[in-house]
Chains A and B, each alone.
Chain A
Amino acid sequence: MAYYLLQRDQRGAHRLAESLERALSSLQHCERCNTFTEERICQRCANPQRDARLLCVVEMPADLAMIEQTLAYKGLYYVLMGRLSPLDGIGPRELGLEKLLARATDGVVEEVILATNFTNEGEATAHMLSELLAARGVRASRLSRGVPVGGELEHTDSGTIAQALVERRTL
């Protein structure tokens, strides 16, 4: 797309550059769910219709979007912006787990749904979170394995994800 704009539509290229610039300067992480937003607290987190007793933890904003598409979930989210990956040097510190733990122990959250991918890294992340949450007396559940082994939410059909949400299990 960038090449096309540079060649055929220089004015369009300028507009794109400006809006990217604007997005970059105003974009921040939501204080509650950690996803990208232009406000301090994103619209989803600020919505009183959502069930604040449920907190669903996903790896990336694309995973959140996928779950939203199922219309099967009314709770809130926490976006890790990554996953545990020891060989890449990504551990609890790099993932900023303190922020999630503080969010999950706010006294309102009753259940944390671990919806990390069903890859080794996603499983390792879910395991780590389940232990940390258990130590803090927070109930955790995991998406059931309707999602194919080795699969990623971003590329799974909504029906499968909806079923996995229905069949979530306590760890």
Chain B
Amino acid sequence: MSHKQRVDQQPSFVLHSHPWRETSLIVEVFSRDYGRVAMVAKGARRPMSALRGVLMAFQPLLVDWSGGGEVKTLVRAEWQGGQPLLTGRALLCGYYLNELLVKLSAREDPHPGLFEAYSEALCQLAGGQSQGVLLRRFELALLRELGYGVLLDHDARSGEPVDPARRYLYIIEEGPIALGADIGSVDPDCQIISGQTLLDMAAGVLERPETLAQSKSLLRALINHYLGGQSLQSRRVFTELQLL
């Protein structure tokens, strides 16, 4: 038995859970030092279970677990408190963040930086901050932390620094290419984006209206690309709600 099989007091969030057998839950946890981990919470659906109210998404927890297989056994979960419950639209945004983590991050691949970005995004959601800005900031942090190397500050072909006064064509897996240069034939759904937006994104300053609008569409295209055809249910639900 390796000492790795028992983890104590790990800062974590519940991303999702589903019923398992008569009285248990399978919980998908996002932990600071172990990344996304699946574990079974035995008896968590019993009426008097102490875990029942604790294993709620979007709340900071300290979790103990054991086991070496793909699905661990949850030993203890303790609510850390200090963060109001998400309500209303912020709650729907929270589901979107969780779905991104579930679909894009690999199991047991630690990303403390991403954990930090996620905690901060939830805190801002709970605090009622501008949702557009915080969602874009999280999406960008997610792509960077997962190693998708989103190039923003240099022209992918010429290597020149991005000029805030120019417009660029953004080619996924490659980067921005200044418009006007000979770029040959391009995919019609490539993104046209201003140099200023690219530099704002590189600096993590997203409040300018044009930056916010253009980064939303660029990040959406990038995320769709890396999802590789999986659709986001939280996005669909959001869209459907707006149509009702």
Given known pairs A86-B99, A91-B237, the reply for A120 and B18 (CB within 8 Å) is no
Taking CB atoms, residues of chain B closer than 8 Å to A132 are 241, 244
Residues 99-143 of chain B, each 1 if its beta carbon lies under 8 Å from chain A, else 0: 100100000000000000000000000000000000000000000
CB distance A150 to B16 under 8 Å? no
Is there a chain B Cβ closer than 8 Å to A92's Cβ? yes
Is the beta-carbon distance between A97 and B244 smaller than 8 angstroms? yes
Report which of A86, A127, A148, A151 forms a contact with B233, defined as CB distance below 8 A.
A86
Kindly identify which residue among B47, B85, B102, B241 contacts A123, using a CB–CB cutoff of 8 Å. Answer: B85
Q: Is the CB of A155 within 8 A of B47?
A: yes
Give the secondary structure class of B's interface: helix
Q: Does B98 contact A (CB under 8 A)?
A: yes
A92 touches B89 (CB 8 A): no
Question: Is B91 touching A87 in the complex (CB atoms < 8 A)?
Answer: no
Quote the shortest CB–CB distance from B50 to chain A (angstroms). 11
Contact string against A for B residues 38-55, beta-carbon threshold 8 Å, 1 for contact and 0 otherwise: 000000000100001110
Task: For A91, give its contact among B89, B98, B233 (CB under 8 Å).
Answer: B233
Contact of A128 among B57, B86, B234, B241 (CB under 8 A): B241
Could you tell me the distance between the alpha carbons of A81 and B85 in the complex, rounded to whole angstroms?
24
B184 within 8 A of A: no
A87 adjacent to B56 (CB under 8 Å)? no
**Within A37-67, which residues are at the interface with B (CB < 8 Å)?**
none
Docked Cα-Cα span, A128 to B238, in Å, equals 10
* Chain B residues within 8 Å of A109, by CB: none
Given A87-B99, A124-B91, 11 other A-B contacts at CB below 8 A? A84-B237, A86-B234, A88-B18, A91-B236, A92-B241, A93-B240, A97-B244, A131-B241, A149-B53, A155-B47, A155-B52
Residues of B in contact with A (beta carbons under 8 Å apart): 16, 18, 47, 52-54, 56-58, 85-89, 91-92, 94-96, 98-99, 102, 233-234, 236-238, 240-241, 244
